[in-house]
Amino acid sequence: MTRFQPAPASLPPNQRIYALGDIHGCAARLAQLHGLIAEDLLRRPVAEATLLHLGDYVDKGGDSAGVLAHLTGSVPLAGLAQVNLGGNHEAAMLAALEGAPGDVADWLWCGGRATLDSYGLSADAAPAVWAAAIPPEHLRWLRGLRRCHRAGGYLFVHAGIRPGVALEQQVPEDLIRIRQPFLSSEAQHGAVVVHGHTARAEPEIRHNRINLDTAAWSGGPLTCAVLEADRIGFLRS
């Protein structure tokens, strides 16, 4: 059973959000976690449930191709509303596929080799070869990712926000890359920010933010926050 604790914000009655942190190529554990969500929904039905991924699907871990196949295929949670946010790794991958040498080097440096491996592609091949070999539905899905999502008292983004800047005026680069001064900020941001991007051993619950990146690709669990009313619980795989 999911154990709940008080959350720093709330959702309207009859709404639930399943929010998943950084996946980084952990395809088998993503499928397992989706299975746990399906079980939770069977045990505890709710009027409006949303499946939300916080981004960083690819790179570093072993099966980015499998993650994208799972998310673009017949997801076991097909009945749920879905919100898929993009992270800095998706931005780096899409930039690299355009072929500029600096962007290619950046992507390979930040873990892109693992993604290429998962598609059976060589890092020495031309970016145009990569782009032609990756299934078009994977690329379409990556290009359709959103930067943020608001629900109840929460704002969902990949990395965080710049403290002191209105939520409507945040720049996209901050939303997918920021660490400091966001992580140490004690400010009220106008919403509790639910994010990933910065790996921790355990999920962090602060008064102004919730971090769900638990380093799945390097030995930690893949974490899903279950948000409903004024409480939060966790599912892990």
Minimum CB distance to Mn ion, residue 55 (Å): 7
Cβ closest to Mn ion, residue 87 vs residue 152 = 87
Q: In angstroms, rounded to a whole number, what is the distance separating the alpha carbons of residues 130 and 119? A: 9
63 binds Mn ion (CB under 5 A): no
50 binds Mn ion (CB under 5 A): no
152 binds Mn ion (CB under 5 A): no
Cβ closest to Mn ion, residue 10 vs residue 170 = 170
Contact string 78-97 vs Mn ion (x = CB under 5 A): ---------xx---------
Cβ closest to Mn ion, residue 10 vs residue 88 = 88
53 binds Mn ion (CB under 5 A): no
Contact string 167-206 vs Mn ion (x = CB under 5 A): ------------------------------x---------
Q: In angstroms, rounded to a whole number, what is the distance separating the alpha carbons of residues 135 and 84? A: 18
Minimum CB distance to Mn ion, residue 8 (Å): 22
Q: DSSP code of 159?
A: S
Q: In angstroms, rounded to a whole number, what is the distance separating the alpha carbons of residues 21 and 134? A: 24
In degrees and rounded to multiples of 5, residue 46 shows phi and psi of: -145, 150
Strand order through the sheet with 204-205: 148-151, 154-157, 192-195, 209-211, 204-205
CB 226 within 8 A of CB 235: yes
CB 85 within 8 A of CB 189: no
